[in-house]
Amino acid sequence: MQYIFPGRAPNLERWRERAIHPLAPKELVPSPFHDRLVVTLAMEPEGPPVPGGPFDRLADCILRYDVFGPTIGRGYLEHEFVEPGATVGLEYRFAPFLSLFFASRVVRVFEREETEFGWSTGFAYQTLTGHPELGEEIFEVTKLRTGPVIFRMEAWSRPNLWYVTLFTPWARWIQKRAAQRAREYLSSKLSS
């Protein structure tokens, strides 16, 4: 984890050299907490996603890792959009004078993937060594064939650093708050 004080910038390059934690895949996380947020954010007509509609706008935010909004922090990417194998970082606003920066590796990206229920866009990442949490997370928007546009954020994780383990209840609160802020932020992107 990198501590960011005023006037300093996160260093994504430093994280690119790190490996995915060997226990980060969701199937390997020992006794993970499992968090799942599924919420309908919009409606479209039945059938495929409307070009430029809510599904496309949410998909664009997710693929740019613009998910949490300024109250939580800023996402950092190697490229304009997430790509398999790329490193993504989050500058988490911890206090007015301090941010925390940590990163993960993208392991899967899917765009307008057609399923029996509809069309999905999103990505999954796994945490790198030195990340405060150990695990895997998915960000996804789905346009159901019947019209609802659904945002899903799902994580399998547990504390990775000893001092995060000491404050597990607080770390869990931060994770749940981040998920709610993501819901609020993405919802606001549809109304702007």
The structure's pTM equals: 0.94
Q: What average pLDDT is seen over the chain?
A: 94
The amino acid sitting at 36 is R
Whether the per-residue pLDDT at 62 is higher than 90: the answer is yes
pLDDT at residue 171, rounded to an integer: 83
* Mean of pLDDT values over 6-11: 90
pLDDT at residue 166, rounded to an integer: 84
pLDDT at residue 90, rounded to an integer: 95
Lowest mean pLDDT among 1-10, 40-49, 121-130: 1-10
Asked if 29 and 135 count as a contact pair (C-beta separation under 8 A), the reply is yes
| Rounded Cα distance, 129 and 77, in Å | 18
| Rounded Cα distance, 87 and 13, in Å | 9
The amino acid sitting at 34 is H
* Mean of pLDDT values over 49-62: 97
Which CATH architecture best describes the domain 2-191? 2-Layer Sandwich (3.30)
pLDDT bucket at 1, cuts 50 / 70 / 90? confident
pLDDT at residue 192, rounded to an integer: 72
